Amino acid sequence: MPSLSELWSAIDRFSTWLETSGYASYDPYDTWGTGYGRLARRLYYKKNPLGMLMAAPLILMEIILPHLRKLLVGKNRYATANAQLALAFLNLHAASRNQERHPSPAFYLDKARGLADDLLTQSVPGYRGLGWGYPFDWQHAHGLMPKGTPHITATPYAYEAFTRLFDLTGEDRYLQVSRAITEFVFADLNDTPTSSDAAASSYTPHDHSKVVNASAYRAFVLFDAARRFENDALQTKAWRNLRFILQSQREDGAWLYAMDDPSQAFIDHFHTCFVLKNLCKLNRQLHCPEVEDAIRRGYGWYRKALFDARDNPKSYAVAPRLQIVQLEMYDYAEAITLGALLKDKIPRAFALAGKLADQLIWRHQLPAGFWVTRVYRGGIRHTMPFLRWPQSQLFLALTNFLVARDQLDPVPERNRPDRGNTPEGDCMSGANRA
């Protein structure tokens, strides 16, 4: 497990790189948003052989020469990255308040404020509330999600950033933005009934999908907002989404990515983390034994099925026939964040997060300060940094772990080998009465 000084050193190196490189970034999916990339994916999903032939050059470019994308696309600002970076700086504000170090807590708060201001300029107009999406077109198995479509897996990070800024500063403008985000999450997304007392949340305002992690993100926001704004209607809808999640959990503890859709009946690492981490967050308020049991069973399966014998994260429980990625750093980020959240509930989860944080610092952080994007089979490292995937997630994960690590009793520094210079109650019945 890394020491506090090692964590701070890694965080400072990344922060220095971030300030030098700026907040605009290329993205692993930007080339797929071009006309050529959209056509390749559309044909691929239709099982047209031409789809794979067209996709092959973009896949090879990503593995061998990812910098070639500079000839095809430009850098962009990503709302998800801005929100996650803001949350990371708020973590650093909290962690630095009792320390005499530079930068000061005020510096980190100012960084979070600036990113929150940027987020407001990136919100998508035309809906009842404030939501955020991606600045590229996304071709998926069921159609095209045009750029600028707000969705539920990006918006909750903005909600967290603005609510934390309000809790910290008491400034009403942050509370009003949080209300507007709540309105989007509550009113602009669709509910699809899945049983007499449960419903799945849509991913965007334009679909009726049953993606499990989408409902988990939505339930977290609605439960928090119901308490914050004393609104029973928010809580009622949140319970229906939560019951969908609980009823979708398999006997072995796992969740499929989506229900009733054979094309999306897979189980992968970071989407499983999305479900578990949102259950952890919402249950801080509910203290629901059924949710607690779902978390424990879900984590038990996750630990057995989504790590290899060396405790490296596996991207899929059942690997695709063509699996070229050996280590995906997004998986590292979500595993570390999940372990920090479970510190007091499942100590072995926090110990695993510490092991992964240690590897992240000493094996995968590059001299420039950012982290490897992924490692392909054969040891080929992808070293072009993308803020939205996974630099902002890794930065947030390390700061989440730092805050959790800081809460432990001080422990003696251990000797390290030279590693080089790169460093309660019946809640469900209560919910039925709501």
Please give the radius of gyration of the chain, using alpha carbons only, rounded to the nearest integer: 21
For 274-294, the pLDDT digits (tens) are 999 999 999 999 999 999 999
Closest CA to 290 of 247, 353, 352: 247
Give the pLDDT score at 431. 55
- Evaluate if residue 397 carries a pLDDT over 60: yes
Characterise 47 by phi-psi region: left (phi > 0), alpha (psi -120 to 50), beta (else).
left
The Cα–Cα gap between 269 and 254 comes to: 11
- DSSP string computed for 312-365: PBPSBSS--SS--EEEEHHHHHHHHHHHHHTTTT-HHHHHHHHHHHHHHHHHSB
Name the burial class of residue 64, with classes exposed (0-12), middle (13-18) and buried (19+) by CB atoms within 10 angstroms of its CB: exposed
Give the pLDDT score at 321. 66
* Alpha helix stretches (DSSP H) within 230-263: 232-248
Closest CA to 285 of 348, 212, 222, 241: 222
DSSP conformation class of 417 = -
Q: For residue 408, name the pLDDT band (cuts at 50, 70, 90).
A: confident
Domain 4-22+75-135+147-433 sits in CATH at 1.50.10.10
Q: Rounded to the nearest 10 degrees, what angle do helices 347-363 and 289-305 cross at?
A: 40
- DSSP string computed for 49-84: HHHHHHHHHHHHHHHH-GGGGGGT---B--HHHHHH
Closest CA to 155 of 184, 190, 193: 184
By percentage, how much of the chain surpasses pLDDT 90? 88
For 296-341, the pLDDT digits (tens) are 999 999 999 999 999 999 999 987 767 899 999 999 999 999 999 9
Parse the chain into domains and list their residue ranges. Answer: 4-22+75-135+147-433
The Cα–Cα gap between 259 and 53 comes to: 30
Residue 284 CA, chain-centre distance (Å), reads 19
CA 280 vs CA 138, 288, 344, 359: distances in Å: 30, 10, 11, 25
Q: For residue 102, name the pLDDT band (cuts at 50, 70, 90).
A: confident
Please tell me the pTM assigned to this model: 0.93
The Cα–Cα gap between 163 and 179 comes to: 9
Please give the mean pLDDT across all residues of the chain. Answer: 93
For 228-246, the pLDDT digits (tens) are 999 999 999 999 999 999 9
Q: Which residues contact 231 (CB under 8 A, 6 or more apart)?
A: 225
SS3 305: helix
